Structure 1
Amino acid sequence: MLETLKRVFVYARPYLRFFLMTLLFAALGVSMSLAVPVFIGEAVDCCVGKGSVDFEKLVKIIILLALTVIFSTFFQWLMSLCTNKLAFLTIRDLRADVFNKLERVPLKYIDGHTKGELTSRVINDIEIVSDGLLQGFTQFFSGIMTIIGTLIFMMMINYKIAIVVVILTPLSFIAASKITKASHDSYMKQSKLRGDMVAFAEEMAGNQKIVKAFGYDKRAEEKFDEINNAYGKIGVKATFFSSMTNPTTRFVNGLIYASVGLLGALGVIGYSTFIGTMTVGKLSSFLAYANQYTKPFNEISGVFAELQNAVSSAERVFSILDEEEIADDSDKEVLTSCDGTLSFSNVFFSYDPKVKLIRNFSLDVKSGQRIAIVGPTGCGKSTIINLLLRFYDIDSGKIELSGKSISDITRDSLRSCFGMVLQETWVFTGTVAENIAYGVPDADRERIIEAAKAAYAHSFIKRLPQGYDTVISEDCGLSQGQKQLICIARIMLMDPPMLILDEATSSIDLRTELRIQRAFLKLMEGRTSFVIAHRLSTIKNSDVILVMKQGNIIEQGNHAQLIEKGGFYAELYNSQFVS
C-alpha cells in the first residue's frame, strides 16, 4: 500500500506549489477555527454570574468571533481549491501516461485483455484514484493541522487533562488499522470484479445483434447476474469493514470526550486538586478543543475506506505501467527505400510456447510479385502478416526486407512500406475526409476524392448529408461494406510500395468487389503484394500461391500448377467451385 501511494505522489511532485499552498491555507484556516473556542470560552465567562453580564466585552468578542469564522471559511475554500488542482493535475498526468503506455506495450498484451477491462482501468479505476486523492488530501492536511493546533491549545489550558486525551487517542488508531487491514483484500477483489463486469457489459452491449440472433439473452442475463452478485457480495463485505471504522473511532472518541468532561467538571467545582482549578469558560473551550481534536481522527478513519478503494484501483492502473514495453528502436536504421524483395529464413513462432504454430518457415519473394496465402482457419496466414509488420517478433530465424533484417530497422519505417486492408473494418469519430486521410493527414481534398473514386466509395459518400464533411463513427449507421470501402480508399491515398490485403473485400457485394479487384490490380502493378483470401476466385491471377497448413507451406506455385498437381489446393478449390 505504501509503495503504491509513493508512486501516486511521484506524479504529484511537479505540482509541489499547490501542495505548499495547501499547507499554508490549511494552517491559516485551522488557526482561525482554533481561535473560535477561545472566544466562546471568554464569552461564557462574561455571563456566568447572575446580573453580572459584561455586554460591552461580549459584543466585542462576538464581532471577533464572526470575523474569525469568515476568514477561516475563506482560507478553507482556498485550501480546497489547491487540493483540487493538485489532485486533478496529478490524475491528468497519470491517465496520459497509462494511455501512452498502451500505445507502447506489445500487441500480445492488448490481445490478452478485453477492451472493457482496459477501458475500466483507464477511466473507472483512475477516477476512483482521483476521488480517493481529493478526499484524502483535503481531510488529511486539515486534520493534521487541527490535531497539532488543538493539542497546543489544550496544553495551554490544562496540560494534565490534555495528557489524558493524548494517552487515550491511540485506541482510535489501533481500531482503525485493524479494520483497514481486513478491508484491503475485499477492495482488491471488488476492483477486479468491477473490471470483469464492465468488460462483459461492453461485450454484450456492443454485439447485441449476435446476442439476439443466437438467443443468448437469458444466458447473458444469468452470467451478468452471476458477476453482479459476486460483486455485490464482496462489495457488502468491503463496505461492512470500512463502515465499521468511523463508528468504532467515534465510540473511542466519545469515551475520550466523556473523560475530559468528567475531569474538567471536577476541576471547576474544586473537587480534585490534581486537575487544578478551571473556570466554566475554560472548560467549555477545552471540551470544544477535545471535540475538534478527536474529529479529525473520525474523518481520517472515514477516508481509509476511500483510500483502500483508491489504492486497489491504483494497483490495477500501475500494473499496466509496469508491463514490458516494445523496445525502443530509435537507434535502428531508417529504411529510406524499398525494392519489394522479401525473404523468410527458417522462421519459428508461437503465440503460446506450448502450442507450436509456425515451424521452419522459409519463403523468397521477388520485387513486384503477387503472393496469395490460402489455407484453413488457424493455419497461420494472418500470423505471417503479424510477423512481417513486427506486431509480434519471431522466436528464431530471420526476415529480410530489401536485403535488410527487419529487426535492424525501425518499426515505423518498416510499416511505412506497407499499405494494409484488413477484414475487420475500422473508422474513427471524424469526417469521411479525415478517415480517408488517416495515413496522409496533409492530403488535399482533390487527392482524397480521387482515392475515394478509385475505391468506388465516391458515389455513396456524395449521398451522405454533408458529403465528405459528414461526421462518422463506428456506430454511425454505415454498412460494413461502406466502411470497408473507406478503409480501401485510405490505402489508395497512401499509394504504398507494398500491399497487404487480408480478406479486403469480404464485406462488399459481388458487383462492387469486381470493380475493387480491378482497382487493386491496377494498384498492385509493380508492387509486391500479399493477398489473404478464403474465396479462391480472387487470387487465381497471383504469381505465387502459398498453401499453408498447421504453420507450414505444404504447396507452392501458380493457380494452374497447383490445380494440375491435384493436391490440397485443388481440393480446396474444387470444394468451392465443383458441385
Structure 2
Amino acid sequence: MTTPTPERAKTAAGVMSRAKDLVAKVDAVPRVDREPLRRLSAPAAGLIRPATGLQAFASALMVVTLIGIWIVADAGITGLTGDGDVASGRVYLGIGLVAGASVVGFAATSAAYYLTHIADLRVRRSVRLAVAERLGVLPLGWFDSSASQKALSAFGSDVETMHTGVAHGRMELVQSVVTPVPVLVWLFVVDWRLALVAAVGPVVNFVLQQRIMLRAMNHQVEQGAAVADLVGAANEEMRDAVTLRVAPVPAGPTRLLAAARRLHRVVVDSHLEQEARGSRIATLIDPVFGLLVVLVVGVILIEYSTLTPAGLIAFAVGTVVVASAPAAVTGARFGIVTAAMAAVRIEELLAAPALTAPAAPKTPVDNGIVVDEVSFGHDPAAPVLRGVSLTVAPNSFTAVVGPSGAGKSTLCALIGRHHDVDAGAIRIGGVDVRDIDPVDLAHRVAILPQRAVLLRTTVRDNIRLARPDASDAEVIAAARTAHIHDRITALPDGYDTVIGDGLSLSSGESQRIAMARALITDPEILILDEPTAHVDPESAARIHRSLAGIARSRTVLLIAHQLETIRHAEQIVVVEDGRVTRSGAHDDLVGTDGVYRRLWEAMSS
C-alpha cells in the first residue's frame, strides 16, 4: 500500500483546484453565497428535509418505470416467437411496475411539494416578521437614504423570489439530478457500449449549453450598458433642449445618435451570432439528436446480435431522460441562485444598524437644546457637519438659515435622533438624546418635513396618525391651532372626508394638516423644515400665523429661506458648509458682514 506523502497531497490538491477552475470557466450559473438562503429557510428545515427525501425517492422510481417498459417490450417480442402465456404474465408484470411506480411517484412528489409550500409559507412569515421587527428599530434617517429605497422596493419581490428556491428550486434540482442516475446505471446493465454513447451526449450538451448561456449573458451586459448610455444621452439632450434649439447645429453625430447606433450594433451582433452559431449548436444539443445517434448505433448492435430489440426500446426511453437532464439541472440551479441572491439582499436589510435603546433611560428636565461639537456624515470621508455647537433656550423660537446643502436639515434631523452623531453630543433638557428612550424622544420632538405626506384615509385619521387614541376634541384642537379647521369643515364630509377620493387639497392645506398631525402629540420641541417652500403666499401666511401661537408653549426650530418671515425670531443661526458661522437676532446679523447680511440685501433689492 502506498503511503500518502505531502508532495502527493499537494499535487492532488492542485489537480482538484484546476478542475474546479475548469468547471467554473464552463459553468454559466453564477457563484452566489447560499448561506443566507439556508439561514432564512431554517424555520422550515424540518419540512424541507423530508420533502427532499420524498422527491429523491419519487425521482428514483423512474428507473422502475423504465424496467417495466423493458419487460413489456421483451415479453411482447417473446410472445411473437415463443410461449404466449409466459409472455402475457410478463406483460402484466411490466404494466404493474409502470403503473405502480407512476402512482407511488405521483403521490411522493405531491407530498413533497405540499411540504415545501407549507415550508415556503413559514419562511415568508418568518422573514416578514423579522423585517418588520428590524424596521421598527431602525433610525428614521435610514428611511431617507437611497439604500433604504432600494432595500424596501426589493423586499416585496425578493420574498416572492425566495418562493422559487424554497418551494420549487430544491425539488426541481433533486428531480433533475436523481432521475438520470439510476436510469443510466440500468442502461449500463442492458448494454454498456450503447450506454456510453447515451452518456456522451449529455456531457457535450452541458458544455455547449453553458457556452451559449455565457455568450448570451455577455451580450445582455453589453446591451444593458448600451441602454444606460442611450438613456443618459436622451436625458442630457432633453435637459438641454432649449439651449440646443438656439445653438448652432454641432458638426458630426450627437451623443444621443452615437448611443443609439451603439445599441443597434450590439443588438444586431447579438442576434446574428445567436442565429448563426446558436442554431447550429442547438441542433447538436437537442435531446432528439442524441436519441437519433443512440438509435443508429443500437440498430448496428442488433445487427451483430449484441443487443436485443427490447433493450433498444429501453434505450429509446432512457436516452431522452438522460439527455434532458443538463437543461433541467441548469434551470433548477438558476432558480436556486436567484433565490439565494434575494436572500442576500434580505439579510442586508436585516443587518441595517438599529437605533440603540439606553439600558437606563433618562428624562429631560426641560425642552432646551444643546448641540455640543457635533460632527456627522452619511459617508465618514465626507462629513456634512463639522464641530457644530449651538444652544437653544427652552420655549424659544430659533430660525436656521444658510445656503442649500449647508447641513441645516441634517442638523435638525440629528436633534430628533434620525441618525446618531459621529462625534460630540446633542442634549435635550440636559440629557444626551442617546440616553432618552426612543419612544419618549419621538413624543417630545416632532419634525415637519418640506413636503407633507397624507395617507388615503379620512382627514381625521390622518391627523391622529401620530396618536391613534386622540379624541375628536383633540383632533379639532390641533386643526384649529394649525389654522386648517375651517377648511376641513368645508369639505363634503368634514373630518370624515377621505383624502384621495376626488379631493383636491393645495400644498399649503396638506402642509397644515401635517402640522396638525405633528401637534396632536403635544411635542415639547417642534422642528419645521421649510414648511412654506412649496406653498402659495396665502397658505404661507396662514402657516406663519399658526407658528405664532405654537411657539408660545414649546421650543420651535424653523429652517427658512424667506428671511422676512423670521425677522422676529429670538435667535437666528447661520449654517455654512457644515458649520455654524453666526448666531443672533436679525438686527445684529444684518449689522455685521456675512452670509445673512448678503442674503438679506439680495432679497431686499
Settle same-fold status: TM greater than 0.5.
yes
Q: Which whole-Å CA distance do the structure 2 matches of 1:35 and 1:519 have between them?
A: 83
Q: Which whole-Å CA distance do the structure 1 matches of 2:539 and 2:292 have between them?
A: 86
Tell whether the 8 Å contact from 1:335 to 1:413 is kept in structure 2 after alignment: no
Deviation at 1:248, TM superposition (A): 5.9
Q: Which whole-Å CA distance do the structure 1 matches of 2:417 and 2:552 have between them?
A: 25
Q: Which whole-Å CA distance do the structure 2 matches of 1:228 and 1:410 have between them?
A: 57
Structure 2 partner of 1:207: none
Q: Which whole-Å CA distance do the structure 1 matches of 2:264 and 2:442 have between them?
A: 45
Superposition pairs of residues 528-539 of structure 1, within 5 angstroms: 528-539=555-566
Are 2:72 and 1:43 aligned?
A: yes
Amino acid at match of 1:15: A
Superposition pairs of residues 434-473 of structure 1, within 5 angstroms: 434-464=461-491, 466-472=493-499
Are 2:397 and 1:380 aligned?
A: no
Q: Which whole-Å CA distance do the structure 2 matches of 1:327 and 1:114 have between them?
A: 15
Deviation at 1:257, TM superposition (A): 4.4
SS in 2 for 1:472: coil
Superposition pairs of residues 488-567 of structure 1, within 5 angstroms: 488-563=515-590
Tell whether the 8 Å contact from 2:458 to 2:495 is kept in structure 1 after alignment: yes
Structure 2 partner of 1:292: 321
The one of 288, 298, 320 aligned to 2:348: 320
Tell whether the 8 Å contact from 2:369 to 2:429 is kept in structure 1 after alignment: yes
CA 63–309 in structure 1, closer or farther in 2 if over 3 Å, else same: closer
Deviation at 1:76, TM superposition (A): 3.3
Structure 1 partner of 2:13: none
What's the CA shift string for 1:144-177, capped at 9, x where partnerless?
Answer: 2312332443355445654665577544554455
What's the CA shift string for 1:498-550, capped at 9, x where partnerless?
Answer: 11122224444444544443433333223222122222333233222223333
Tell whether the 8 Å contact from 1:448 to 1:493 is kept in structure 2 after alignment: yes
Q: Which whole-Å CA distance do the structure 2 matches of 1:530 and 1:381 have between them?
A: 11
CA 552–251 in structure 1, closer or farther in 2 if over 3 Å, else same: closer
CA 29–568 in structure 1, closer or farther in 2 if over 3 Å, else same: closer
Tell whether the 8 Å contact from 1:338 to 1:417 is kept in structure 2 after alignment: no
Amino acid at match of 1:555: R
Deviation at 1:488, TM superposition (A): 0.5
SS in 2 for 1:438: helix
Q: Which whole-Å CA distance do the structure 2 matches of 1:28 and 1:143 have between them?
A: 12
Amino acid at match of 1:251: I
Moved more, 380-389 or 72-81: 72-81
SS in 2 for 1:47: helix
Deviation at 1:385, TM superposition (A): 0.5
What's the CA shift string for 1:129-154, capped at 9, x where partnerless?
Answer: 54466553232121223123324433
- TM-score normalised by length of structure 1: 0.77
The one of 76, 86, 98 aligned to 2:109: 76
Structure 1 partner of 2:26: none
Amino acid at match of 1:481: G
Structure 1 partner of 2:173: 140
Deviation at 1:495, TM superposition (A): 0.4
Tell me how many residue pairs correspond in the alignment. 553
Tell whether the 8 Å contact from 1:358 to 1:552 is kept in structure 2 after alignment: yes
Deviation at 1:293, TM superposition (A): 2.7
Structure 2 partner of 1:17: 46
SS in 1 for 2:483: coil
SS in 1 for 2:411: helix
Are 2:39 and 1:5 aligned?
A: no
Deviation at 1:339, TM superposition (A): 0.3
Q: Which whole-Å CA distance do the structure 2 matches of 1:234 and 1:320 have between them?
A: 38
Are 2:305 and 1:271 aligned?
A: yes
The one of 509, 514, 531 aligned to 1:487: 514
What's the CA shift string for 1:541-563, capped at 9, x where partnerless?
Answer: 32222233334444333334445
Deviation at 1:421, TM superposition (A): 1.3
What's the CA shift string for 1:263-309, capped at 9, x where partnerless?
Answer: 6545545534xxxxx54223322432232233222311344555565
Q: Which whole-Å CA distance do the structure 1 matches of 2:270 and 2:167 have between them?
A: 24
Q: Which runs of 5+ in 2 are unaligned?
A: 1-29, 246-255
Amino acid at match of 1:374: V
Moved more, 254-263 or 294-303: 254-263
SS in 1 for 2:146: coil
Tell whether the 8 Å contact from 1:344 to 1:364 is kept in structure 2 after alignment: yes
Are 2:278 and 1:251 aligned?
A: no
Amino acid at match of 2:404: T
Amino acid at match of 1:320: E
Amino acid at match of 1:371: T
Q: Which whole-Å CA distance do the structure 2 matches of 1:192 and 1:12 have between them?
A: 35
Amino acid at match of 2:173: F
Q: Which whole-Å CA distance do the structure 2 matches of 1:9 and 1:140 have between them?
A: 16
Deviation at 1:77, TM superposition (A): 3.8
Moved more, 74-83 or 55-64: 55-64
Amino acid at match of 1:45: D
- TM-score normalised by length of structure 2: 0.74
Structure 1 partner of 2:146: 113
Tell whether the 8 Å contact from 2:41 to 2:123 is kept in structure 1 after alignment: yes
Deviation at 1:392, TM superposition (A): 3.6
Structure 2 partner of 1:275: none
Q: Which whole-Å CA distance do the structure 1 matches of 2:543 and 2:462 have between them?
A: 19
Amino acid at match of 2:563: L
Tell whether the 8 Å contact from 1:419 to 1:491 is kept in structure 2 after alignment: yes
Q: Which runs of 5+ in 1 are unaligned?
A: 205-210, 273-277
> What is the RMSD of the two structures over their aligned residues, measured on CA atoms?
4.8
Q: Which whole-Å CA distance do the structure 2 matches of 1:19 and 1:443 have between them?
A: 48
- What percentage of residue pairs aligned between the two structures are identical? 23
Tell whether the 8 Å contact from 2:460 to 2:475 is kept in structure 1 after alignment: yes
Amino acid at match of 1:483: S
Deviation at 1:356, TM superposition (A): 6.4
Amino acid at match of 1:548: V
Q: Which whole-Å CA distance do the structure 2 matches of 1:227 and 1:126 have between them?
A: 39
Moved more, 16-25 or 81-90: 81-90
Q: Which whole-Å CA distance do the structure 1 matches of 2:576 and 2:302 have between them?
A: 96
Structure 2 partner of 1:208: none
Amino acid at match of 2:320: N
CA 525–40 in structure 1, closer or farther in 2 if over 3 Å, else same: same
Tell whether the 8 Å contact from 1:180 to 1:308 is kept in structure 2 after alignment: no
